[in-house]
Structure 1
Amino acid sequence: MAASVENRQFPGFYKPGPTTHHRSDSPVRGCSFPQSADLTLINSKKTIPNGNSKFSYSSSDDEDDDYDENEYSSAIKKSNAELEPSVLDSRDEYTADNWVERNPSMVRLTGKHPFNAEAPLPRLMHHGFITPVPLHYVRNHGSVPKASWDDWTVEVTGLVKKPIRFTMHQLETEFEFREIPVSLVCAGNRRKEQNMVKKTVGFNWGAAGVSTSVWRGVPLRSILKRCGIMSKRKGALNVCFEWEEDLSGGGGSKSGRV
């Protein structure tokens, strides 16, 4: 679940030094992270236990910021205004994804279904460091799950003293959150060029299988502490993630990561 959020403080970000490698109206001014922007964030506006709905920070370097906040916000809004609206695509009509709206400029890489796509590279470069939500690359093994925020849960079991199933409401209201910019890149990015040299088993990704968004969430450490994670001596060495959906073509197996 995600939403576009304006005028939020993004605390504790690392700010690289100024650079001139951006277009004049790019949302990235000096490659500094924004103090207000329309960005992809997990939708959480609830008050956390300490009574604050957001964190604040101070830095002696704040006075040296080389961008004007109003100008920056205007650039973000201008970038979003340049996007055509996402629509239901006729190519999804007879698939399980027929309810999902998508940006019509996205380059489909695997036919109709499952949907795997990247933005046209010139558009990705045009919008600068933060990728507009509708142009974020998509990597799917199956259909997009229809999930309700109120029904979705996260269950923690295994080598913990108190196995707990958390609702999204609990994660929103009972834990402090963090917001960080993260660049995601598909392991197959630019595979088309590899396939031109020697054919692989993967499909032809171009060079736009990479996107950057600002994400909000609860640190895994906080959740594991709440559940009473066991010590290394008792075997708690790794965390295994398993999704609810069955792996496409996996004979009933679940998709997961370690």
Structure 2
Amino acid sequence: MLGLLCTTWLAAAAPLPVVAVGDGPVVAPLNNTAPDQTVPGGWVTVLADCLEERQPARFTVVDRVVLGETTATFKERLEPVRELRPSWVVVALGARELAQEGSQPAAIRAELETIVTQLRAKTRKIRPEVLLIGPVSPALEPGEGRPGEGRPGEGRPGEGRPGEGKEGDEGSEQASLDARIGAYNAQLTELAASIEGVTFVDLWSGWPREPSRRSGLTVGGWTLSDQGHARVAAAVCDAVLAE
């Protein structure tokens, strides 16, 4: 009996695994981004610090975020994540696909729904909660064209600089991106409401629309800054502790 009580106590005292998967929330093609060194480990590390500070020893955060991860590539890593027997899975997927001109938010949502359903499947009596991180927009600078066209100076000789456009093009491109992001966030809201145990972490509603404030959350417009990482981590931390 004593042994059983000890085993039960140890199981109850074990930290709850929180596994982060996907990529960052900024909608950007892979060739416009680079690993961010401003915060070691990025928002996942900040999330771990937040959870430890607010509820010491209750959680253990496992970082499975991969630069450039998409819904298609994550499917190859889904089973190893399930084998970790997480209590929570924090999912940041869809931003890379959404960066492509002509992408369809509803189609990306359909791919994500398949992933979420598989993550929610019970594994050895554990059915993890899933937190969906909504994507946010990059801060385009004057002269930048469509995402994926490259950075200045990457073109072939005689072609000019990829991404250069007429004055004002960045405004229309920013508006186009923002519209797709808004539509995809609406899809994620519906998805979370349709599946038990799934929560939508809405970053977009509170994300600055003014260029000067928005640019402070990124480095070079495309990658989260220290402030951006902290903002994402705080929202996810609140969502985990609210469950």
Higher strand share: 1
Higher Cα Rg, which structure: 1
Q: Which has the higher contact order (CA 8 A, sep 6+)?
A: 2
TM-score, reference length from structure 1 = 0.24
Higher helix share: 2
